Amino acid sequence: MTNRITILGSTGSIGVNTLDVIAQLGEDYAVDALTGNGNIALLARQARDARARLAVTADETRYDDLKDALAGSGIEAAAGRSGLAEAAEGYSNWVMAAIVGTAGLMPTLAAARRGANIALANKECLVSAGDLFVHAVANGGGRLLPVDSEHNAIFQVLEEGQRHALERIILTASGGPFRTWTREAMASVSAATAREHPNWSMGLKISIDSASMFNKALEMIEAQHLFHVRPEQIEVVVHPQSVIHSMVGYKDGSVLAQMGCPDMRTAIGYALSYPSRPTLDVERLDFTRLSRLDFEAPDEGRFPALRLARRAMEAGGLQGAVLNAAKEVALEAFIDGRIGFLDMAVIAEAVMDRMAHLPAASIMEDVFAADAEARRHASGLVSKSAAA
């Protein structure tokens, strides 16, 4: 059977890798719709190469550019929120959710509600909307397959029949470029330095989130919702080589790990081919060339994002949405050079303090309202911090 796939965020790092994997999977997969934002030239080229039905830019002002770039191809062009909704609600039975940030929530939700299988790279869906998102997928009747390498690793080694014996989930973290830096040294780093990830090649924002360990913080919350575990069952261990992508510990003392070279295509291929494993042209792990595997405890003093994640997980409700929205505003401000690297966590924590007493979300609109309020508070704090 041919699977039809829509890639939300095809022009990004995950999107490009997904198209590579689809090309490797051969005739089993055909592309339905592709979406991007600013990179119109790449979007049009991808749509032509993949013979997509529809190409969408999220940026309404770029609609004419996209239409021009697709001229003569017969591929439909669309733009803006309605265009993203059209892509998400289209004819595919698979959707790769790879838009960066909360912008990915609405279209992914639309795809989930109509019963598409969701390959989820956009962790923000789970961090912000948590169980509401999980229920939307379940009610729609599709499957939720984790693409984030850590969660994909856990998914690979979490034995379905052994859930009663699950004790803990151990998320590995590379520690990022500042693993050994002092807080004083981190205070003055630029976005250009922070985006240099030691092992993984990723988009700008997730690379900086890895440097601050906000990425790991979001992954802790993501794991809580994906695997239905309590906060105290989620551990983080720093493993600088990124060879072990994560582990599951069982009540008999056994620990199962998934290993491989750091390449997102393995996780993408596993998700899209589930429950069988595809053949992929990726680098093989050569144990004779691995001189060592190191592990160390994360330092929550230097990386307070991890502490904020625990706080959000323990509080539950809308705290994930608050943390994520405040972090996104602070991250944009750091990238623009308006605040320092360490200010991101300070701002996120201050917004969490301010919104600590929100009731739990019962409908998706509660999530959007909390997200908007957290952004307002965070923007105010950014302005204050930038003026100081």
* Binding positions for ligand NDP, rule: CB under 6 A: 9-15, 36-39, 58, 98-100, 103, 121-124, 148, 200, 202-206, 264
Minimum distance from residue 36 beta carbon to ligand NDP (Å): 3
Please report how close the Cβ of residue 120 comes to ligand NDP at its closest, in angstroms. 9
Q: Which two tokens stand for residue 348?
A: 């996120």
Task: State how far the alpha carbon of 69 is from the alpha carbons of 32, 39, 55, in Å.
Answer: 18, 11, 11
Minimum CB separation of residue 251 from ligand NDP in Å reads: 29
Give the angle 184-187-189 at the CA atoms, nearest 5°. 120
Q: Which is nearer to ligand NDP, 15 or 176 (CB)?
A: 15
Pairing relation of β-strands 166-173 and 76-79?
unpaired
Q: Which is closer to ligand NDP, CB of 50 or CB of 58?
A: 58
User: Between 273 and 324, whose beta carbon lies closer to ligand NDP?
Assistant: 324
> Residue 28 is encoded by which pair of tokens?
């089993």
Only one residue has tokens 């997980």, namely 313
- For the sheet with 255-259, list strands across it: 234-238, 166-173, 244-250, 255-259
Q: Give the relative orientation of helices 149-157 and 214-227 as an angle to the nearest 10 degrees.
A: 30
Assign residue 309 a region (left: φ > 0; alpha: ψ between -120 and 50; beta: otherwise): alpha
Measured from the CB atom, the residue of 98 and 312 that comes closer to ligand NDP is: 98
CB of 37 to ligand NDP, least distance (A): 3
Residue 267 or 342 with smaller CB distance to ligand NDP: 267
CB of 175 to ligand NDP, least distance (A): 16
Q: Which residue is nearest to ligand NDP (CB)?
A: 12
Cβ distance to ligand NDP smaller for residue 99 or 144: 99
Q: Min. distance of Cβ 204 from ligand NDP in angstroms? A: 6
d(CA 175, CA 148): 16
